[in-house]
Amino acid sequence: MSHSETYFEHHRRRRRKWAALAVALVVLVIGACVVFVSVALARALTFEQDVRGMQTALVARDFSAAGEALADARSSFGDIKSLWSVANVARPLPFVGTEIKTLDRVLKDTEGLLDVLGMLVSIGIDVETNVRAVGAVSNISDIDSFFTLEPDARRELVLALKRAAPELEEARVRLSGYRRDLASVAQTSRFPGVRTLIEQTTRTLIEIETTLNVAIPLMRILPVMGGFNEPQQYLLLLQNTGELRPTGGFWGTYGAMTVQNGEVAFLETDDIYAVDVLSIGNIDTEPPLPLKKYLGVDTWYMRDMNWSADVPTSVQNGLAAYAREIAFAPSPVQTGTISATDFDGAILVTPAVGKALLAALGPVKAGGLVFRSETFFDDLQHEVEVAYRDRDIASQDRKDVIGELLRTLLAGLLQSNPSEWGPYIDVAHEALKNQDIVLYHRDPAIQRLLEEQNWAGDVRVSAQSDHFMVVDANMAALKTDARLDRSYAYIVTPLMNGRYQASLRIDYDHNGGFDYRTTRYRTYTRVYVPEGSELVRVDGALKDDRLKNPNAEAGDVEVYSEFGARVFAAFTSVEPGASGSLTFHYLLPERIERQIEKGAYVLDVQRQIGVGRVPLSLNIDFGKQVMAAEPGEARAFWYDDTYTYSTTLDPFQSFQVWVQ
């Protein structure tokens, strides 16, 4: 071997030795990091238990225990931070360094969560101090039921919570920010332990944020709507979604409810026909033309007053009709000590709320019947339509069971311990979010708050963006909507002349037959689209149903403007076991075309109350490359000129697309 060969071999061995040492060092550092991560995650489990303990204490209104649990959580979190700081030595390493940066953000968000939890504990202590000052209780945790408190104590508790609303709103905004940040971080982490910590923290954030989303606006409106300033009288309107009407359902049952100091002081319900029958032959209010034509009515009674999809408009019409009709009662009608027409607002409720409450409370007995969540709607419908006759109940009394059921459900809810309110808060949150409960109040300030929270059922029209809302109205088709599936398809196509044509299709699948509550479907359908849209044609419009229009002659289309939108309306019908569709074709206004030309398009969709989560498919061809979208398309639809997306609709939903 030459000297030069010996020299190079020597240096090769040295390089191999240094490489081996480097690999060993990296393995050692990674191993140390794994150990540190394992220990830190063990501390994280302790930390989560501490946070859970604090949540439990907050729910139980034991703010002293919550403070102690918070101190323990801060201690556990301090241990995690101390351990993790040691792992910083590995920050320059690939993969490990990325995970360390990810966990840095997780720890920062978790520390923010602890700060917010500290705010909640402090707010709870302040509220407790205020309630204690009026001599009600020494500790809020001693309250077995809100309604066992004296009225003054109840009022102070509600007002103290209202004063805390701005701080709680700050807490909610911060929690929302931490949750969004964690969601983005979760996409970058590959280490299961880090993802576990993210999931634990996110779970806590969502639970608290969900509660605050309901609690904060309620705290703002409760002093007035809860009757803490003066008694409040509400018109209760039960919307039968099986017979869909523009606001969510036929107003088959109404009620009067008085609320004072947060307590239901009076509640009575009745068949809405009991009001309408008083004015037969005494009033001549002209109904809208479609009601005359497809319902065959010559007088506009209260039961049909929700012809507008805008709940405030329909409620105001309903209140006026009630006052007009009740004036023909043989003697003045009172609800408790209040005049029956002196309403402060209205509460509209769909059967979905009863179903959800029964799921939370368990089976409830009313009117000699047992109602269960799974069969609630069918059982109640059968009782008031058929079974009441077999039980020798008079026709005018057949809906008394509804009032008894309502009072029983309310009693079960209001008499429960506040620590057990978690499931009911969830029910309220979902019902308000899905508009199964809609509220109206005569006080403009309260009404604005309701509209801000999307709790008012008002029609929203975007003057700038593309939008649509489909509004079906069951026209003498019994309760057929309960056996109907509907879906929407929205298609936009570029034309040679530079215009864009929209096609909005409503598909109906009739899954029922002919029985006491189901028949051929008959609907007068309106679509609200951008003002300035130009109707091209309508496919599927009929003059009437199969019996009255056996040759399926095409029906007329009504065109007008309302609420700042263009409205196209037509009648159609679907036989049992069959499918049908109604499609509106129209040119989008020039302002929408200009937005597309500038590269940004927005579609806002408002869902009709009472239809449930309707499937929606979008196929929007811009004639130019789609660059990005929110929500994003599935990968199979990337790299073309069309935005393709399918979903089930929420009450309000927006879609944004950027094109080039």
**196-202: which pairs have CB atoms within 8 A and are 24 or more residues apart?**
196/41, 196/44, 197/41, 197/44, 197/103, 197/106, 197/110, 198/106, 200/44, 200/48, 201/106, 201/109, 201/110, 201/113
Query: Which of 78-92, 156-170, 517-531, 550-564 is predicted least confidently?
Result: 78-92
- Summarize pLDDT for 80-97 with one digit per residue, the tens: 777 666 555 555 555 556
- Summarize pLDDT for 304-350 with one digit per residue, the tens: 999 999 999 999 999 999 999 999 988 766 555 455 678 999 999 99
Q: Tell me, what's the pLDDT at 20?
A: 47
Query: Which of 9-23, 143-157, 433-447, 516-530 is predicted least confidently?
Result: 9-23
Tell me what the pLDDT averaged over the chain comes to: 86
Whether CATH 3.40.50 fits 232-452: no
Confidence check: pLDDT of 11 > 60:
no
Q: Tell me, what's the pLDDT at 160?
A: 83
Four-residue CA torsion sign, 470, 476, 479, 482 = negative
Strand blocks (E) in 80-199: none
Confidence check: pLDDT of 502 > 80:
yes
Q: Which residue has the higher pLDDT, 564 or 337?
A: 564
> In which order are the strands placed within the sheet that holds 615-621?
534-539, 579-587, 500-510, 484-494, 615-621, 642-648
Confidence check: pLDDT of 296 > 80:
yes
- pLDDT category at 8 given cuts 50, 70, 90 is very low
Q: Can you give the residue ranges of every domain in the chain?
A: 3-225, 232-452, 466-659
- pLDDT category at 539 given cuts 50, 70, 90 is very high
Q: Which residues contact 648 (CB under 8 A, 6 or more apart)?
A: 613, 614, 615, 616
- pLDDT category at 244 given cuts 50, 70, 90 is very high
Residues 587/532, Cβ–Cβ less than 8 Å? no
SS3 content of the chain, % helix, strand, coil (to 5): 50, 25, 30
Residue 631: asked if its preceding bond is cis (omega within 30°), the reply is: yes
Same fold, 232-452 and 466-659: no
Query: Which of 169-183, 368-382, 384-398, 520-534 is predicted least confidently?
Result: 169-183
Confidence check: pLDDT of 640 > 90:
yes
CB-based burial, 52-68: b 16+ in 10 Å, e otherwise: bbbbebbeebbbebbbb
Q: Minimal CA–CA distance to 207: which of 58, 46, 362?
A: 58
pTM: predicted TM-score of the whole model, two decimal places: 0.82
Whether CATH 2.40.160 fits 466-659: no
Q: Which residues contact 530 (CB under 8 A, 6 or more apart)?
A: 462, 465, 466, 467, 565, 566, 588, 589, 591, 592
* Helices assigned H by DSSP within 60-91: 63-86
DSSP labels for 514-544?
SBTTB-SEEEEEEEEEETT-EEEEEES-BSS
Half-sphere exposure of 645 (CA within 13 A, CB side): 20
Confidence check: pLDDT of 138 > 60:
no
DSSP helix/strand/coil, 194: helix
Q: Tell me, what's the pLDDT at 272?
A: 94
Dihedral over alpha carbons 77, 80, 82, 84 (to 10 degrees)? -140
How many angstroms separate the CA atoms of 456 and 441, rounded? 9
> What is the mean predicted confidence (pLDDT) over 514-538?
98
How many angstroms separate the CA atoms of 223 and 229, rounded? 7
